[in-house]
Structure 1
Amino acid sequence: MKQYIEVGYALSNRVKCQNCLQQIIKDEIRIGHVLARQPGLNFDKKLWYHLNCLNSIKGDRNQDLDIVNIHGLKEEDQKKVKKKVDQIKKSSYQKKDQKEVKYLSKQEHLQNYVKIQRDLHLIQKKKQCQQAMFFEQIDSPDEQW
């Protein structure tokens, strides 16, 4: 599923921010996270946010998101939007790196668990061998008698 970011000034007061659920006032900067649907479906899903309310973008993090209609904003507003998008990208990469660290720690935990289980299995085998040898000694006839 393709996705991109659409920015612009709010055309009316009818759209609500998906984060704070407050109305986006007319002529205020709004950021839309657009999820492009399959060609058979006739619409794209747009989630609108205030500039300050957009904290993360869900979806495929490996995809670079294009910013559409940014040239329709004033220069100072363009800088604000670019700064906000860069912050979001940095935070999403940091979260991804943290998840990888958690995964590695789980993997190390699993390796330790397997090692402990293997050691316990070897100890059990050793005990079984010792018991078998003990019973063989008891069952075998002594030549001294």
Structure 2
Amino acid sequence: MKQYIEVGYALSNRVKCQNCLQNIVKDDIRIGHVLTRPPGFGFDKKIWYHLLCLTSIKGDRNQDLDIVNIHSLKEGDQQKVRQKVDQIKKSSYQKKDQKEVKYLSKQEHFQNYVKIQKDLHFNQKLRQQAMFFQKMDQTDEQW
């Protein structure tokens, strides 16, 4: 299923933003996430957002999506859309970095756990050897 982002001015005020659930006012900038379907399986699905309500742009398997019809906007509005997209991309990269840090901390935690378990196992072996030698000393004393 192909996906892309469609940008444009709202043609009427009948479409609702999927984030805030408020109507998008006529002639406001709207951003649509379009999911295309193969021929014969119905219409394409468009999910519309206000420019300020858009929080993430993710395609299938977290790939970036193409932005369509951006040249139909006024120059100032094109800049707003580009700034918003750049801001979203930066925040998504920061989230990915945070996830990696969390993963590394879990990995370090696991390594510490394994180290502690090895130390406990080693200490247990030392105790067993000490008990064995104590028993040997006791049996030597008895002879």
Structure 1 SS opposite 2:49: strand
Structure 1: state its 5+ residue gaps.
none
Structure 2 SS opposite 1:19: coil
**1:131: which partner in 2?**
131
Aligned runs of 1:57-68 on 2, under 5 Å?
A: 57-60=57-60, 62-68=62-68
| One-letter code aligned to 1:20 | C
Q: Tell me by how many angstroms 1:13 deviates.
A: 1.4
TM-score of the aligned structures, taking structure 1 as reference length:
0.86
Structure 2 SS opposite 1:83: helix
Give identity over the alignment, percent.
75
**Native 8 Å contact 2:57 2:65 kept in 1:** no
Classify 1:141/1:38 alpha carbon distance in 2 versus 1 (closer, same or farther; 3 Å): farther
**Native 8 Å contact 1:61 1:92 kept in 2:** no
Structure 1 SS opposite 2:7: strand
CA offset digits 1:88-115 (Å, max 9, x no partner): 1111111111111111111111111111
Classify 1:118/1:36 alpha carbon distance in 2 versus 1 (closer, same or farther; 3 Å): farther
**1:32: which partner in 2?**
32
Q: Tell me by how many angstroms 1:58 deviates.
A: 4.3
- For residues 129 and 57 of structure 1, what CA distance do their matches in structure 2 show? 62
Aligned runs of 1:71-86 on 2, under 5 Å?
A: 71-86=71-86
- For residues 125 and 38 of structure 1, what CA distance do their matches in structure 2 show? 65
**1:42: which partner in 2?**
42
**Native 8 Å contact 1:31 1:49 kept in 2:** yes
CA offset digits 1:40-99 (Å, max 9, x no partner): 633333221101111223455652221011122122211111111111111111111111
Aligned residue pair count: 143
Structure 2: state its 5+ residue gaps.
none
CA offset digits 1:16-58 (Å, max 9, x no partner): 1111110001121100122344666333332211011112234
